[in-house]
Homo-oligomer: A and B are copies of this chain.
Amino acid sequence: MKLQVAIDLPTTTDALALLEKVASSVDIIEIGTPLVKAEGLAVLKALKAAYPEKELFADYKTMDAGKLEATMAFEAGADSVGVLALANDATIVGAVKAGRAHNKRVVADLIGVPPQARLTRIAELRELGVEHVELHAGLDEQAAPGYSVSTLLETIAGSSLPFAVAGGINISTVGIVKNAGASIAVVGGGIYGAEDPAEAAKALRTAIIA
A: which residues have CB within 8 A of B?
Answer: 8, 10, 33-34, 36-43, 60-61, 63-66, 68-69, 72-73, 84, 86-88, 90-91, 94, 111-112, 138-141, 143-144
Can you report 5 residue pairs joining A to B where beta carbons are below 8 Å apart? A37-B72, A38-B72, A64-B141, A66-B140, A86-B112
A64 to B112, CA, bound (A): 9
Shortest beta-carbon distance from A141 to chain B in Å: 5
A33 to B40, CA, bound (A): 11
Nearest-neighbor residue (CB-CB) of A136 within chain B: B64
Q: Is the CB of B65 within 8 A of A34?
A: yes
Q: Which residues of B contact A41 (CB under 8 A)?
A: 37-39
A41 to B12, CA, bound (A): 12
Partner of A138, one of B64, B112, B139, B144: B64
Partner of A88, one of B8, B36, B141: B141
Q: Which residues of B contact A42 (CB under 8 A)?
A: 40
Beyond A38-B40, A38-B72, list 15 extra A-B contacts (CB 8 Å). Answer: A33-B65, A33-B69, A34-B72, A37-B60, A37-B73, A38-B41, A40-B43, A61-B64, A63-B111, A64-B140, A86-B112, A88-B138, A90-B144, A91-B138, A91-B140
Q: Which residues of B contact A86 (CB under 8 A)?
A: 86, 112
